[in-house]
Structure 1
Amino acid sequence: MQGAMLTIWGRTTSSNVQKVLWTCEELALPFERIDAGREFGKLNEDWYGAMNPNRLVPTVRDGELILWESNTITRYLANRYGGETLYPAEPGARSRVERWMDWQLSTLMPAIGPVFWALIRPQPGGPDAAALQALVARLAQVWTLLDRELAGRPYAAGDRLSLADIAMGNSIRRWYAFAIERPDLPHLAAWYDRLAERPGFQQHLMGPVV
C-alpha cells in the first residue's frame, strides 16, 4: 500500500538518517528529504520540537503520522510498505532481526561512538593515544563477536539482507574508513562487501565520513 510521499528531516551524513534513506531505497519508496541538524539548524526551532521532542534527526512524516527514532522508523516502513523480506512477520525470524537491531543500539553504538568522536570530530581534552588505543581495541572485540556469528551465514540475521544489516551499515562503513589498524576478520569483511554491493548502500552510505 502506497501512501503520500514521505518527508524526511535530516542531513545525509547522519548515521541514523542513512538507515532510513537506505531502507527507503530497498523498499522503492519515494521521499522528500529536508536538510536538518548541525550546520543546517532547525532542531531548536519550536515547530521541529513539536514533531520530535528529542530534537534529533531523523524525523519522518508519513501522511499525518510523525515518526522518530531511526530503528523504529525502519520497522514502521517495512511493516507499512511490504518489506517482509527485510523484516519478516514470522515471530522467530523477526526476533533474530530485532535482537541485532537492539545489539546495534546497546553494544555497537557505545563502542564505535567514542572512536568516531576521537578520530573524526576530536574535541579539546579528548582521549590520549593510549586511551584511543583502548577504545579501538574494545570496538574490535565487538566486531569480533559479529565476525564469529557471520561465519555461519551471509547476513546478520540469516540468509538475506534485513533491517539488522541496515541498522549496522553506517558503523561497518566507518570501521573500514577509520585510519586505524584492524584485526583480520574475514567474515566481517565479506559481509561488508555484500552490503556495499547494494545500490542503497552505495548511494547513501559511501560518502565522506564526517
Structure 2
Amino acid sequence: MFSPDLVERVVFESYTFLARTAKIHAFLAPLAGHFATDRLSALAHARNPQEGSVPQVLFVDEEDANRSQVAAALLAHYAQGAVVARSAGFAAGEAVDSIAVEMLVERGIEPPNLYPKPVTDDVVRAADLVITFGASDGIRVYPGTTHEHWCVGGLLTASTRERAREVVDAIDTRVTNLWEQIHAQATPTASTTSHRTG
C-alpha cells in the first residue's frame, strides 16, 4: 500500500518524535516501531476508508500522559476490537503518569505499551471522532470528523488517590456513554463536523 520511502519516513519521524522526550532509550526502537505501525494504519484508513470498518476515536490531551491515555484504554477495553481508540498529546510528555496506570489496573485493565505520543496529521485524518481535554485550539479537525471537548477537571499527576478516582470515574462515565452510542449505530460517527462542549 505504501512506498518504501514513505514507510522509512514515517519510521524515522516516529523515532524522532519519541526521542525528544524519552527518558529510557533502551525501549525507544520498539516503541517507535509500534508508533509508526499505528500511524501507517491510520493513514491507510484515511486514504481508503472501508465501508463497515470500525470507528476510529482519538483522545487528545496536553501531554498524552493521563486523561487521554485513560480514556483510550477504557474505550478499547469496553469495545474489545469494535473501535480503534488512540491517544495523543499536543506536546508529548516523558512518560504516562503512574497514577493513571494504577487507576486502570484497579479497574482490571493492564494495557501494554502505554507511552505518550504527539498528535500527528495521519491519526487526526483517520479519526471519525476527536475528543479533546484541556486546550483544544491547537488541533485541526477535518470535514467529516466529529469533535467533542470533554470538560473533565483535574490532571491525575498531582491528584490524591481519592481525587484521581473521581477524575477517572468521570472519564469512565463519558466513555461508557460514548461506547453505548457507537454500539447502537450501524455506521461510524456523523459525516459532518460538529463542535460540542460538555
Normalising by structure 2, what TM-score? Answer: 0.31
Task: Flag the structure with higher helix content.
Answer: 1
Normalising by structure 1, what TM-score? Answer: 0.29
